[in-house]
Amino acid sequence: MKSKTLIRFLKFFVLLLFISSANAEEPRFYIPDAPAIGAASYVVMDHNSGVMLAAKNEDEKRAPASLAKLMTSYVVFQRIKEEFITLEDDVKISEKAWKTGGSRSFIEVGKMIKLKDLLRGMIVQSGNDASVALAEHVAGSEGTFVLFMNDYAEQLGMKNSRFENSSGLPHKDQYTTAKDIAILSSAMIRDFPDFYKWYSEKEFTYNNITQANRNKLLWTDSTVDGLKTGYTQKAGYCLVTSAKRVGMRLISAVLGSESPTVRFTETEKLLDYGFRFFETQSVDDISHQVPIYKSEKSSLKVGVADSTYLTLPRNQFKYTTQTITLNQDLIAPINQGERIGNLVISFSNETIATLPLIALEDAPESGFFARIVDTIKLLFR
């Protein structure tokens, strides 16, 4: 009798374990809404994946103010890269550049100034005069330089931007968006890492005049290393920022704040939100072994084709599943780099990303008799 009772107890215990296992769920990830931000438009974006983590009116066209200088510096950096100009070029200052109003680097008409000093004057001091001098040196005139600005903006996918001058001074037909400025800033960091370091300089001295960088976050947040402030009456107070924490780089663009203090506090809110609730993982190092036939090898090492990043709720990546789908049975010869299928990354039965899968090594053909054996194996598969 006691043995029957024990057996019934064990069966009940096993049933409880089964029910518990069947009802077990994957961890849930709840992301709160982005904090309320005091700005006309904003965006916070992951630099590596390009994913927007939060945004408001991100495609609204607005006056760029000095954020236009980001495009000016991008064009200059590109022309240096293409070897049309160099950092050591001597640039003669025109009367137009000297007379340009607004924030200044205090360059003097007729003087010869090194191009790298003008760049730092524009980036750190936000000198409108330096911007015009650079534009004239690169393209002969500021009007021609604007053609470069708009051409590169189109290439970068800045669909809602138009530039009419190199400095960002008010112009009725000049506009950009929070999203476009974030795209431009990301391209700057990606394409010109050696030049990007100037955006973290806290001050620059020229003509015996020292001016501090207007981006006060460089002093108060050690993870911030750029980029640019801007202000006109029409644009309001603007700030585009990049920061790097916990293996991530985020870019925020805040346009149309009501004061210098607000643009800084709201930027910190966006950065804190992005870093706290999201993570970005590289999938470059994901590799698998898959069977291959008629080869000297029994399996082939495969992985993703390009540098790829996924931005997910923090800690979610470790719960994802990875599934390989092959175009067909792999038969040698196969060359390194050849696409052979897809890697599907999913969470809770929902596909997060589908990435091209390539051979990470060569798979030469095996001998005649080994190929015959594999032919028979394939017939019976």
Residues in the chain: 381
Both 115 and 213 in a single domain? yes
Mean pLDDT, the chain, as a whole number? 90
pTM for this model (two decimals): 0.85
pLDDT digits (tens, 9 = 90+) for 326-341: 888 888 898 998 998 9
Q: Has residue 298 been placed in a domain?
A: yes
Q: Tokens in use for 74? A: 């991008």
3-class state of residue 211 by DSSP? strand
Both 322 and 374 in a single domain? yes
How much is the average pLDDT of 332-361?
89
Q: Name the one residue in this structure whose structure tokens are 């594999």.
A: 374
How much is the average pLDDT of 292-309?
85
pLDDT of amino acid 2: 41
pLDDT of amino acid 239: 98
Q: Is the pLDDT of residue 168 over 90?
A: yes
How far apart, in whole angstroms, are the C-alpha atoms of residue 41 and residue 273? 17
How far apart, in whole angstroms, are the C-alpha atoms of residue 73 and residue 289? 46
CATH number of residue 113's parent domain: 3.40.710.10
Q: Would you report the helix, strand and coil content of the chain in percent, each value rounded to 5?
A: 35, 30, 35
Both 214 and 293 in a single domain? no
Q: Tokens in use for 100? A: 């340009």
pLDDT of amino acid 8: 41
Both 45 and 148 in a single domain? yes
- Is residue 1 very low, low, confident or very high in pLDDT (cuts 50, 70, 90)? very low
Both 118 and 152 in a single domain? yes
Contact 64, 175 (CB under 8 A): yes
Both 212 and 337 in a single domain? no
How far apart, in whole angstroms, are the C-alpha atoms of residue 239 and residue 370? 65
Q: Has residue 20 been placed in a domain?
A: no
Cα→Cα distances 167→8, 104, 207, 356, Å: 83, 10, 20, 42
Q: Name the one residue in this structure whose structure tokens are 């924490």.
A: 245
Both 255 and 129 in a single domain? yes
Q: Has residue 52 been placed in a domain?
A: yes
Please spell the DSSP secondary structure of 320-336, one letter per residue. Answer: -EEEEEESS--BS-B-T
List the catalytic residues.
66, 69, 126
Counts of helices then strands in the chain (DSSP H, E): 11, 16
pLDDT of amino acid 294: 83
Boundary-marking domain end, from 233, 261, 278? 278
Contact 333, 365 (CB under 8 A): yes
Both 52 and 189 in a single domain? yes
Beta strands in the chain (DSSP E): 41-46, 52-56, 90-92, 112-114, 203-206, 209-212, 224-232, 236-245, 248-257, 278-282, 287-291, 299-304, 309-313, 321-326, 339-347, 350-359
Q: Is the pLDDT of residue 55 over 80?
A: yes
Domain residues for the domain of 233 are: 41-278
CATH number of residue 356's parent domain: 2.60.410.10
Both 264 and 184 in a single domain? yes
How far apart, in whole angstroms, are the C-alpha atoms of residue 153 and residue 160? 9
How far apart, in whole angstroms, are the C-alpha atoms of residue 56 and residue 195? 30
Task: List Cβ neighbours of 358 (8 Å cut-off, separation of 6 or more).
Answer: 302, 303, 304, 305, 336, 337, 338, 339, 340
Q: Is 52 left (phi over 0), alpha (psi -120 to 50) or beta?
A: beta
Boundary-marking domain end, from 228, 247, 278? 278
Q: Has residue 162 been placed in a domain?
A: yes
What is the Cα Rg of the chain in Å?
28
pLDDT of amino acid 159: 97
- Is residue 34 very low, low, confident or very high in pLDDT (cuts 50, 70, 90)? very high
Ranking 6-10, 91-95, 102-106 by mean pLDDT, the lowest is 6-10
Q: Tokens in use for 174? A: 């000049």
Boundary-marking domain end, from 258, 278, 298? 278
Beta strands in 233-349 (DSSP E): 236-245, 248-257, 278-282, 287-291, 299-304, 309-313, 321-326, 339-347
The better pLDDT of the pair 208, 52 is held by 52
198-188-191 Cα angle (round to 5): 110
Q: Is the pLDDT of residue 23 over 80?
A: no
Burial class of residue 83, CB neighbours in 10 A (0-12, 13-18, 19+): exposed
Which backbone phi and psi does 313 adopt, to 5 degrees? Answer: -55, 145
How far apart, in whole angstroms, are the C-alpha atoms of residue 46 and residue 51? 5
Q: Has residue 8 been placed in a domain?
A: no
How many domains, in total, are found in the chain? 2
Task: List Cβ neighbours of 27 (8 Å cut-off, separation of 6 or more).
Answer: 315, 316, 319
Both 140 and 164 in a single domain? yes
pLDDT of amino acid 311: 94
For residue 365, the 8-state DSSP code is: B
How much is the average pLDDT of 130-140?
98
Residues 163, 169, 175, 181, CA torsion sign: positive
Q: Has residue 151 been placed in a domain?
A: yes
pLDDT of amino acid 136: 98
Q: Has residue 27 been placed in a domain?
A: no
Q: Has residue 32 been placed in a domain?
A: no
pLDDT of amino acid 14: 34
Buried b (16+ CB within 10 A) or exposed e, 284-304: eebeeebebbbbebeebebbb
Both 324 and 256 in a single domain? no
Both 151 and 178 in a single domain? yes
Contact 176, 64 (CB under 8 A): yes
